[in-house]
């Protein structure tokens, strides 16, 4: 019986790992949640280019504004294209049914995406779209093959063609066939900002957790000094 259950568990694990397939190499991205300017730029990209299809249904505009130091006026004018109340959730106006009809797959909610896929994956994914005549959208993605999402940022990045794979790293090699409004360096920077923002989105409490942590340590140090003095005071009479 014991052996049978072990065999079943082992078979299940190998099936799961096979289904996941070998993981593809990704580029690493430097995440810095204390860089508010980067988070603001990432938020601007997100509301301009992503909320038309994807929701971030666990985040409210005014919470984001407060966390990222964006004033209410700027928030309303520059960030709220899909809603009119600052307290609204960041929901896409596209229904999941329409999404499914148009793309074959409903665009998933992206609030927790950075925890599901990890920052390096998102950063690499956003830089891995390439032209492909064999797909419906005309785009493909080396990290997410036959993805239903079109390359919505091609105006910024331009379009690139897949030319091969690097023998040493196993990473795809691209060639820019049409220049976008950004240089490749600027586009990489912009994708770092966007990934930074998605990391914040997945765990907004991380911003305050670090500050609270510093206060807690400072408090403990002060407490230690008093506790030590008190201990000395008590033991003076004992000795
Ligand atoms: C035109 C609609 C559309 C827009 C705009 C759009 N996406 Fe998507 N996205 C999709 C669809 C559809 C999928 C599902 C792809 C699939 O499963 O094949 C998707 C999937 C994704 C995924 C992978 C989700 C997973 O499976 O883990 C990420 C990450 C993502 N989108 C990020 C973004 C970001 C960031 C933006 C803004 C720059 C954006 N998308 C804009 C349609 C869109």
SS3 assignment for the chain: CHHHHHHHHHHHHHHHHHHHCCCCCCCCCCCCCCCHHHHHHHHHHHHHHCCCCCCEEEEEHHHHHHHCCCCHHHHHHHHCCCCCCCCCEECCCCCHHHHHHHHCCCCCCCCCHHHHHCHHHHHHHCCCEEECCCCCCCEEECCCCCCCCCCCCHHHHEEEEEEEECCCCCCEEEEEEEECCCCHHHHHHHHHHHHHHHHHHHCCHHHHHHHHHHHHHHHHHHHHHHHHHHHHHHHHHHC
Average pLDDT over every residue of 12-26:
65
Average pLDDT over every residue of 16-37:
82
More confident residue, 133 or 2: 133
More confident residue, 2 or 86: 86
Q: Residue of the nearest CA to atom 35 in ligand 1? A: 50
C-alpha 15 to ligand 1 mean position (Å): 27
Ligand 1 pocket at CB < 6 A: 49-50, 52-54, 103, 105, 107-108, 110, 113, 116-117, 122, 125, 147-150, 152-153, 194
Average pLDDT over every residue of 97-121:
96
Residue 46 above 60 pLDDT? yes
Residue 8 above 90 pLDDT? no
CATH architecture type of domain 24-203: Orthogonal Bundle (1.10)
More confident residue, 107 or 83: 107
Q: Residue of the nearest CA to atom 36 in ligand 1? A: 50
pLDDT of residue 2: 59
Residue 217 above 80 pLDDT? yes
pTM above 0.75, yes or no: yes
C-alpha 66 to ligand 1 mean position (Å): 26
Range among 12-16, 75-79, 83-87 rated most confident: 75-79
Taking CA atoms, 228 is separated from 63, 168, 223, in Å, by: 42, 58, 8
Q: Residue of the nearest CA to atom 26 in ligand 1? A: 108
- The mean pLDDT value of the chain amounts to 91
Delimit the domains of the chain by residue range.
24-203, 212-239
- pLDDT category at 106 given cuts 50, 70, 90 is very high
For the ranges 5-19, 57-71, 121-135, 191-205, the lowest mean pLDDT is seen at: 5-19
Residue 145 above 90 pLDDT? yes
Pocket test for ligand 1, best of 149, 180, 191 (most atoms within 8 A of CB): 149
pLDDT tens track for 83-92: 889 999 999 9
Of ligand 1's listed atoms, the one at least distance from the Cα of 106 is: 12
C-alpha 233 to ligand 1 mean position (Å): 65
C-alpha 33 to ligand 1 mean position (Å): 23
pLDDT of residue 6: 58
Pocket test for ligand 1, best of 55, 82, 107, 123 (most atoms within 8 A of CB): 107
C-alpha 79 to ligand 1 mean position (Å): 19
């Amino acid at each position: 019986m014991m052996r049978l259950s072990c065999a079943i568990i082992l078979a299940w694990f190998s099936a799961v790992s096979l289904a996941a397939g070998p993981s593809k190499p990704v580029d690493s991205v430097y995440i810095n949640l204390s860089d508010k300017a980067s988070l603001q730029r990432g938020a601007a990209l997100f509301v301009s280019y992503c909320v038309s299809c994807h929701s971030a249904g666990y985040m409210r505009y005014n919470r984001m504004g407060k966390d990222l130091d964006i004033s209410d006026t700027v928030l309303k004018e520059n960030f709220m294209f899909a809603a009119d109340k600052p307290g609204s959730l960041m929901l896409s106006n596209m229904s999941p049914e329409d999404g499914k009809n148009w793309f074959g797959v409903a665009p998933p909610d992206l609030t927790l995406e950075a925890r599901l896929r990890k920052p390096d994956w998102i950063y690499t994914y956003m830089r891995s779209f390439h032209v492909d005549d064999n797909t419906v959208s005309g785009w493909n993605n080396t990290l997410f093959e036959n993805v239903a999402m079109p390359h919505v940022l091609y105006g910024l990045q331009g379009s690139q063609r897949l030319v091969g794979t690097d023998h040493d790293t196993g990473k795809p090699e691209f060639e820019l066939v049409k220049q976008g409004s950004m240089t490749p360096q600027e586009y990489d920077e912009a994708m770092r900002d966007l990934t930074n923002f998605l990391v914040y989105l997945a765990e907004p409490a991380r911003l305050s957790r670090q500050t609270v942590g510093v206060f807690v340590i400072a408090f403990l140090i002060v407490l230690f000094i008093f506790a030590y003095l008190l201990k000395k005071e008590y033991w003076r009479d004992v000795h």
